[in-house]
Structures are given as structure tokens and as C-alpha cells.
Amino acid sequence: LGTHCQPSLQPWLSLEGDKTNFPKKGDTVHCWYTGKLQDGTVFDTNIQSSKPLSFKVGVGKVIRGWDEALLTMSKGEKAQLEIEPEWAYGKKGQPDAKIPPNAKLFFEVELVDIE
């Protein structure tokens, strides 16, 4: 009987941030992102929109993989995130967004601002 101790989030840095401004739990972050399924299908992106996604980080407003990753990113950083189902939408998936059950999700996220 062991506990599941595999990390549920695998971030890869694709562009370094300023390495000094990191969000804290409860800060509002502003991000550009693209989300893909394992087969490369884009299920969500805000790249074409006029303003970045804004939300309070670390308080459960987004999937856990995002909360955990963004708290480690600095302003201006761009990262590739590989998020296991248990830190994404799990067994239920997100049918409205065409995310199947138990889907591993892949995101490119750019942290553009922190308030």
C-alpha cells in the first residue's frame, strides 16, 4: 500500500521571467494561454482575445495544476505545463470544453502581470 507520490504537474520553462516578481496566494495574475489535449487538439486559448485571463491565484479559481504552476512562475515567464488528470478535470472531464475523462492536459502559459 503506497500513496500516489508522482508529481501531477510537469512544467518546462520556455521563456524566463524576471525572476524577482512571483505571485503570492490571493494575488490577481494575468495570463495568455493555449490548452491542448494529448493528441494536440486545442480545446481553449485566449491568444486571439484582446486581454489576458485574470484570476486570483492559489485559491481554487482554476484547476489545481494552474494554481500550483503559477505560484512558481515569475512575471514575464512563459512555461509549458503538462498536467495530470487529478490536477485537471479528473474522472469527469469537462464535456462542455470537449475535455474527455482522465485527460492529461498541456498548456502554454505566459504570466504577463501580477497585482
On the CB side of 49, CA atoms within 13 Å amount to: 12
Q: Which residues of 77-93 are buried (b: 16+ CB within 10 A; e: fewer)?
A: bbbebbbbbebbbeeeb
Cell triple for 31: 495570463
Active site residues: 33, 43-44, 63, 89, 107
